[in-house]
């Protein structure tokens, strides 16, 4: 038996073909860097090629692979408004090689961008019912495009409730624009509530983990779709709490992060049991992943 035939027999055909393999590495220019918290900044990018810029579209919840030349590549969610894909924001916490190298770059510098990748938030599926968005810490970045989408198509949802938690007021993302953005949300009849673990003396909103906001949110489990994003342990607690309140695990969606390398279902670094976070996710119905999440065990 030839080696090729042996390999063919050993390796089952993939359930679905690798996604987005053809997506090229594009050049993006950093237009502006907005510091959010002591370790997190938002990078506003435009694709350098005008034709690619005009073609680029993304869905809320999708991510790009950003390359710092000579350093490497990291998966980063798109945090801006999908109605304006010509201006792309990525909100990045400096934790390792690539994200720290990004921190040394500024306006006018160029980086690489592949994307957009991944399964987005189920915005269409949620239409007609209530939308509950629960974000903890950096988790506000991947749900922010969903908030923009819901604001722009407000009549497609009944209630839109946005619950945001952070360690302290200084850790709230988009704080500089929050008064404006918060007001914009309220003007469009989004119900917004904030909570922090450690308040300052003049903090006017809630105190405690984000799930303490659930009681005041008047959740109607049968008609609600939840988008939950934050540290894995927070997503597990929030999702379990929503299940206890009567929500089906399949109507609760979480955004999972795993070490990602190729982004196209080839390398296996991001596998979560049988699932590939890069292309089956990063957004999953909680019911699909609950058995594979460490914090859920």
Ligand X SMILES: Cc1cc2nc3c(=O)[nH]c(=O)nc-3n(C[C@H](O)[C@H](O)[C@H](O)COP(=O)(O)OP(=O)(O)OC[C@H]3O[C@@H](n4cnc5c(N)ncnc54)[C@H](O)[C@@H]3O)c2cc1C
Tell whether residue 225 is a contact of ligand X (CB under 6 A).
Answer: no
Q: How far is the CB of 164 from ligand X (least distance, A)?
A: 16
Q: How far is the CB of 218 from ligand X (least distance, A)?
A: 30
CB hemisphere CA count around 133 (13 angstroms): 32
Tell whether residue 47 is a contact of ligand X (CB under 6 A).
Answer: no
Q: How far is the CB of 61 from ligand X (least distance, A)?
A: 9
Do β-strands 130-136 and 224-229 pair in parallel, antiparallel, or remain unpaired? parallel
Q: Which stretch binds ligand X (CB under 6 A): 22-30, 173-181, 230-238, 256-264?
A: 256-264
Q: How far is the CB of 78 from ligand X (least distance, A)?
A: 8
Per-residue mark of binding to ligand X, 273-292 (x: CB under 6 A): ----x----x----------
Q: Which is nearer to ligand X, 103 or 206 (CB)?
A: 103
Q: Which is nearer to ligand X, 212 or 271 (CB)?
A: 271
Q: How far is the CB of 220 from ligand X (least distance, A)?
A: 30
Q: Which stretch binds ligand X (CB under 6 A): 4-12, 44-52, 71-79, 236-244?
A: 71-79
Computed on alpha carbons and rounded to an integer, the radius of gyration of the chain in Å comes to 20
Q: Which is nearer to ligand X, 97 or 186 (CB)?
A: 97
- Tell me which residues in 87-106 interact with ligand X (CB under 6 A): 91-93, 95-99
- Tell me which residues in 119-138 interact with ligand X (CB under 6 A): 138
SS3 content of the chain, % helix, strand, coil (to 5): 30, 30, 40
Q: How far is the CB of 98 from ligand X (least distance, A)?
A: 3
CA torsion sign for 85, 279, 277, 254 is positive
- Please report the DSSP string for 77-89 in residue order: EB-S-TT-TTSEE
The answer to whether 292 and 275 are in contact (CB under 8 A) is yes
64, 81, 130, 257: which one contacts ligand X (CB under 6 A)?
257
Which DSSP letter does residue 282 get? Answer: B
Question: Among 194, 189, 191, 254, which Cα is nearest to 227's?
Answer: 254
Tell whether residue 171 is a contact of ligand X (CB under 6 A).
Answer: no
Q: How far is the CB of 95 from ligand X (least distance, A)?
A: 4
Q: How far is the CB of 64 from ligand X (least distance, A)?
A: 9
Tell whether residue 147 is a contact of ligand X (CB under 6 A).
Answer: no
Tell whether residue 76 is a contact of ligand X (CB under 6 A).
Answer: yes
Q: Which stretch binds ligand X (CB under 6 A): 85-93, 168-176, 184-192, 224-232?
A: 85-93
Do β-strands 252-255 and 224-229 pair in parallel, antiparallel, or remain unpaired? parallel
Long-range contacts of 45-48 (CB under 8 A, 24+ apart): 45/87, 45/88, 45/89, 45/90, 45/111, 45/113, 46/86, 46/87, 46/88, 47/86, 47/88, 47/113, 48/110
Distances in Å between the alpha carbon of 260 and those of 73, 133, 255, 265, 276? 9, 25, 14, 10, 10
The answer to whether 287 and 249 are in contact (CB under 8 A) is yes
With CB atoms as reference, the residue minimizing the distance to ligand X is: 96
Q: By CB under 6 A, name the binding residues for ligand X.
A: 63, 72, 74-77, 91-93, 95-99, 138, 141-142, 257-258, 260, 277, 282
């Amino acid at each position: 038996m030839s080696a090729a035939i042996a390999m063919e027999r050993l390796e089952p055909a993939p359930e679905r073909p690798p996604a987005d393999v053809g997506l090229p590495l594009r050049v993006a220019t950093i237009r502006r860097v907005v510091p959010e918290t002591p370790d997190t900044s938002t990078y506003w990018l435009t694709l350098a090629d005008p034709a690619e810029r005009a073609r680029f579209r993304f869905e809320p919840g999708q991510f790009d692979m950003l390359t710092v030349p000579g350093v490497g590549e990291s998966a980063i969610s798109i945090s801006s408004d999908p109605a304006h894909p010509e201006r792309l924001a990525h909100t990045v916490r400096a934790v390792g090689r690539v994200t720290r190298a990004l921190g040394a770059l500024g306006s006018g510098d160029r980086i690489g961008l592949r994307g957009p990748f991944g399964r987005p938030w189920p915005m269409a599926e949620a239409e007609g019912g209530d939308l509950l968005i629960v974000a903890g810490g950096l988790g506000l970045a991947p749900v922010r495009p969903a908030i923009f989408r819901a604001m722009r198509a407000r009549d497609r949802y009944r209630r839109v409730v946005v619950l945001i938690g952070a360690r302290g007021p200084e850790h709230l993302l988009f704080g500089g624009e929050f008064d404006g953005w918060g007001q914009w949300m309220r003007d469009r009849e989004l119900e917004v509530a904030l909570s922090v673990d450690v308040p300052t003396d003049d903090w006017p909103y809630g105190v405690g983990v984000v799930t303490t906001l659930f009681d005041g949110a008047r959740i109607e489990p049968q008609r609600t779709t939840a988008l939950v994003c934050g540290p894995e342990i927070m997503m597990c607690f929030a999702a379990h709490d929503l299940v206890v309140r009567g929500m089906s695990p399949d109507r609760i969606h979480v955004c999972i992060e795993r070490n990602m390398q190729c982004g196209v279902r080839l390398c296996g670094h991001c596998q979560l049991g049988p699932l590939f976070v890069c292309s089956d996710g990063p957004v999953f119905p909680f019911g699909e992943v609950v058995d594979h999440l460490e914090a859920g065990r």
